[in-house]
């Protein structure tokens, strides 16, 4: 007969087991090959590429050079750079590259959401779709071609695979790349299989003109991408996923440099969870909407480090208490998390050395994430702050446009 304490432990296992099974389920679906999106003729959509950039003089040339290398008709692409509260030569540099530049100076309303909203108000040319790219990123040559195909297939909003460049090849960058792949690649691929929404990831977001006309941009919090995604869901839009389109952001040099960014992400996610999770679940059930219901579930899923730590602790407690139900349930959850991690490693297609460092750094990275999460709860960030990133791969900034 189970003791009362064992029953309590089993009850404690259930939410973390549910989260792990959900992630494991998505990882299995993500590994199922999917036929490419149909392409219905030559590319004729007109794209505006909106680039919010704050003091990106060093990194912006790499993005502009990658845009010039796109395999999409150049006469159908307009580039609009929002020099947002810049104190360097971002605006002049972007103009030298031939971009349309609008300068924004507002130290009260600080953050990328405000810059995007400002940029939308500056667009004067006719266009069919809008793409938002951070100023410190680069894009794959097929970005607009891949977006165009997803729009041909019926998507009104599309997210590219957003990852971090690993120019330094450090173990820290390797494990952060895996962490991003789990959220930005494994989950969207799995969600696509069940008709859910891929979500927005901040950079590499594509919207049809109808979405922009209908919804605009009214997300200005610490996690503006999550806020905007939830707004689109409530207005009946689902975000598709273009795996072939890749956007690479500049990686911070160290976990110390990334701490502020992660605190902002977690604080923004917590705010979205409190505001939207239950209502999205309710709407999903009431309207029989898988995108809304799944988005509510997504918001309730704790960070992976918390799920792993909780299941490990409960497994050990179950073994010590000789409660097969407790340790067995925790073991199933840990196996599901292992499948999730392996799917991320497999889909990244990395070399053995990077794969080794990704695996070796997981325990330390998980502990670091737990500390960051605790800090986000104890001292929640209230303002957007720019992340310190490496300039090791910014040598192209000195190249002539």
Q: CATH number, domain at 88?
A: 3.90.550.10
**Is the domain of 138 the same as that of 210?**
yes
Displacement of CA 5 from its chain's centroid (Å): 39
Alpha-carbon gap, residue 341 to 24, rounded angstroms:
9
Is 283 domain-assigned?
yes
Count the helices and strands in the chain (H runs, E runs).
15, 8
Per-residue tokens: 348: 């990244």
With respect to residue 272, please indicate whether it lies within any of the assigned structural domains.
no
In a domain, residue 349? The reply is yes
Whether residue 235 sits in one domain with residue 287: no
Backbone angles phi, psi at 370, to 5 degrees: -60, -40
304-320 and 362-378 helices, crossing angle to 10°: 110
Residues 357, 175 contacting (CB under 8 angstroms): yes
Domain assignment present for 116: yes
Its pTM stands at 0.86
Sequence-distant (6+) residues with CB within 8 A of 225 are 199, 200, 201, 202, 205, 219
Residues 301 and 346 occupy one common structural domain: yes
| Same domain flag for 52 and 174 | yes
- Residues spanned by the domain of 112: 47-254
> CB of 159 within 8 A of CB of 201?
yes
User: Quick one: 287 and 349 in the same domain?
Assistant: yes
> What's 398's DSSP letter?
G
Q: How many angstroms separate the Cα of 16 from the Cα of each of 49, 74, 179, 313, 343?
A: 40, 49, 19, 11, 19
Q: Does residue 73 sit in the same domain as residue 219?
A: yes
Facing residues of 82 across strands? 52, 102
Based on the fold, state whether residues 69 and 25 are members of the same structural domain. Answer: no
Q: Are residues 101 and 181 in the same domain?
A: yes
Judge whether 184 lies within some domain: yes
Walk along the chain (401 residues) and give the pLDDT tens digit of each residue: 468 888 899 999 999 999 999 999 999 999 998 776 666 667 789 999 999 999 999 999 999 999 999 999 999 999 999 999 999 999 999 999 999 999 999 999 988 999 999 999 999 778 999 999 999 999 999 999 999 999 999 999 999 999 987 655 566 677 778 888 999 999 999 999 999 999 999 999 999 999 999 999 999 987 899 999 999 999 999 999 999 999 998 766 555 555 556 666 677 788 888 899 999 999 999 999 999 999 999 999 988 989 999 999 999 999 999 999 999 999 999 999 999 999 998 998 776 676 776 777 777 777 767 777 676 666 655 555 555 555 444 443 344 34
């Amino acid at each position: 007969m189970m003791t009362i304490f064992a029953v309590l432990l089993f009850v404690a296992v259930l939410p973390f087991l549910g989260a792990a099974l959900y992630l494991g389920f998505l990882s299995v679906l993500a590994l199922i090959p999917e036929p490419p999106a149909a392409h219905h003729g030559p590319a004729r959509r007109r794209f505006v590429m909106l680039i919010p950039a704050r003091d990106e003089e060093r990194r912006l040339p790499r993005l502009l050079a990658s845009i010039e290398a796109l395999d999409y008709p150049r006469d159908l692409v307009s580039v609009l750079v929002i020099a947002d509260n810049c104190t360097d030569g971002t605006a002049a540099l972007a103009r030298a590259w031939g971009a349309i530049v609008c300068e924004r100076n507002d130290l009260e309303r600080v953050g990328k959401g405000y810059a995007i909203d400002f940029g939308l108000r500056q667009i004067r040319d006719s266009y069919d779709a809008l793409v938002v790219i951070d100023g410190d990123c680069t894009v794959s040559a097929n970005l607009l071609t891949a977006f165009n195909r997803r729009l041909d297939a019926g998507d009104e909003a599309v997210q590219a695979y957003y990852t971090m460049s690993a120019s330094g090849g450090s173990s820290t960058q390797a494990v952060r790349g895996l962490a991003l792949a789990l959220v930005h690649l494994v989950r969207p691929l799995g969600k696509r299989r069940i008709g859910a929404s891929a979500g927005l990831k901040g950079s590499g977001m594509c919207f049809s003109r109808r979405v922009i006309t209908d919804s605009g941009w009214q997300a200005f919090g610490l996690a503006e991408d999550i806020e905007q995604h939830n707004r689109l869901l409530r207005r009946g839009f689902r975000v598709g996923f273009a795996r072939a389109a890749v956007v690479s952001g500049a990686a911070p040099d160290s976990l110390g440099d990334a701490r502020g960014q992660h605190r902002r992400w977690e604080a923004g996610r917590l705010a979205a969870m409190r505001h939207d999770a239950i209502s999205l679940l309710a709407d999903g059930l009431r309207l029989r909407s898988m995108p809304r219901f799944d988005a509510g579930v997504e918001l309730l899923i704790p960070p992976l480090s918390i799920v792993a730590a909780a299941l490990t602790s409960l497994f050990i407690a179950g073994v010590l208490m000789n409660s097969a139900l407790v340790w067995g349930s925790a073991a199933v959850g840990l196996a599901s998390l292992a499948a999730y991690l392996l799917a991320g490693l497999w889909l990244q297609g990395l070399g053995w050395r990077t794969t080794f460092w990704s695996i070796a750094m997981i325990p330390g990275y998980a502990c670091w994430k737990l500390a960051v999460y605790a800090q986000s709860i104890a001292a929640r960030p209230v303002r957007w702050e720019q992340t310190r990133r490496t300039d090791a791969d910014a040598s192209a900034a000195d190249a002539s446009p």
